[in-house]
Amino acid sequence: MVLLLILGLLFINQTPNLPPCEDNTTYALAPGANGSLGVLIVYMDPGISHGRAEAVFDAAKKAGAKWVRIGFIWALAEPLPGEYNFTEFDWIINAALERNLSVLPVVMFTPRWASGRPNAKDYYLYPPARGEYLRDFAKAIATHYRGRITHWELWNEPDMRGFLRDLDGDGSTADEYAEMLAYFHSGIKAGDPNAGVVLGGLANSKVEPSCEKDYLRKLLSDPDFPAGKNFDVMNIHTNFRSPREIIEEIRETRATLEEFGLEKPLWITEASYTPVRKFQTLPCYLGDEGFDRYVHDALVVELNEGAEVVFWAALHDYGSDRPESDPYKHSGLYTYDLKPKRAAEVFKGLSKELGN
């Protein structure tokens, strides 16, 4: 778990030769690094054509991914209380498993009937009116997918106002998420005692105004639902951070866990950057070449710091629904049409180094 910084070392032949950053620092996998690589797959929801889904999973496999992170929309899987519709989710998950891709589903988006604000336009972003609704759903999915899904993630970036709404109006969603996590954990373990619960990936932004600060500490110290006992895997996001900032974030996260006597496996379910020059915020990572180098360096430092699974976000670029003003639109290893970028070869080279 100690970062290995090697000056002037060329990447081994499995990774395309990339010149070092302007300070001549090259990051290389530490001896014994044994984590796994995954990719976030966007648009992989019921309604996607099966042909498109198969092509996307084939691209993930070709890039060397061992894991795929996909959305699992509660509102679609349980449109009415106790009435489950897993048909298309089954097809998607089975298609991934057939390619030896492990699946991390992210459970998100509350059905209107369960929402704490059913009349709100964004009802799906609110926590459920009763925790039992989420517990029962978690038990149903864990039971249904026992033996196929080993880990379940609850929500994406709950510390961001754009993903989870404050139900009680106290200015924080940490209390709501801590309660959701307790019920979710209870349901997953009831349905499959061997399944792991992954904390919703925290954005952890120190500069984004919409990101609630000190979120992990708030979760762990919640007086009614202290979160430490309700998740098995710690999970953070490191998007657009420099390697040094990533290392700092990982170590700060572990220090916060230690404050509460906790030691958890660490997954990073989103590491991301862009090849678009106007959105590139890191001087060492500019242009297409800088994007390729960032894919390598960010994943390497995360693995060297002991992350067990690291996901690049995303496998392919976003489609026409995302404007060109979105910094994440072109963050894929592939274009939206699944044409590989050089970054896909960088990712594949790292996967080979890991022996994945």
Domain containing residue 91: CATH number: 3.20.20.80
Mean pLDDT along residues 87-93:
98
Here the tokens at position 22 are 């302007």
Q: Rounded mean pLDDT of the chain?
A: 93
Q: How confident is the model over 111-128, as pLDDT tens digits?
A: 999 999 999 999 999 999
pLDDT band per the 50, 70, 90 thresholds, residue 26 = confident
Residue 58: phi, psi to the nearest 5? -65, -40
* 332 within a domain of the structure (yes/no): yes
Q: CB–CB of 312/350 below 8 Å?
A: no
Q: Is residue 14 part of a domain?
A: no
Domain containing residue 334: 32-354
On whether residue 247 sits in a domain, the answer given is yes
Tell me the two tokens of residue 126.
């609110």
- pLDDT tens string 262-319: 999 999 999 999 999 999 999 999 999 999 999 999 999 999 999 999 999 999 999 9
Name the domain count of the chain. 1
DSSP state of 7: E
pLDDT surpassing 70 at residue 2: no
Q: 106-115 burial by CB neighbour count: b if 16+ within 10 A, else e? A: bbbbbbeebb
Whether residue 300 lies inside any domain: the answer is: yes
Q: Looking at the domain assignment, is residue 118 inside a domain?
A: yes
First-last CA distance in the chain: 19
Nearest Cα neighbor of 354 from 300, 312, 297, 305 is 300
- Kind of pairing between the strands at 36-40 and 309-312: parallel
Helix axes 287-304, 243-259, angle to 10 degrees: 30
Q: Which helix (H) or strand (E) holds 154?
A: strand 151-154
The residue with tokens 């959701």 is 180
Specify if 23 maps to a domain.
Answer: no
Distance CA 266, CA 261 (A): 15
The rounded distance, in Å, linking the Cα atoms of 7 and 141 is 48
Q: What's phi and psi for 102, nearest 5 deg?
A: -75, 145
User: Is the residue at 54 inside a domain?
Assistant: yes
Examine residue 335 and state whether it is found in any structural domain, yes or no. yes
The whole-model pTM stands at 0.93
H-helix or E-strand spanning residue 197: strand 196-198
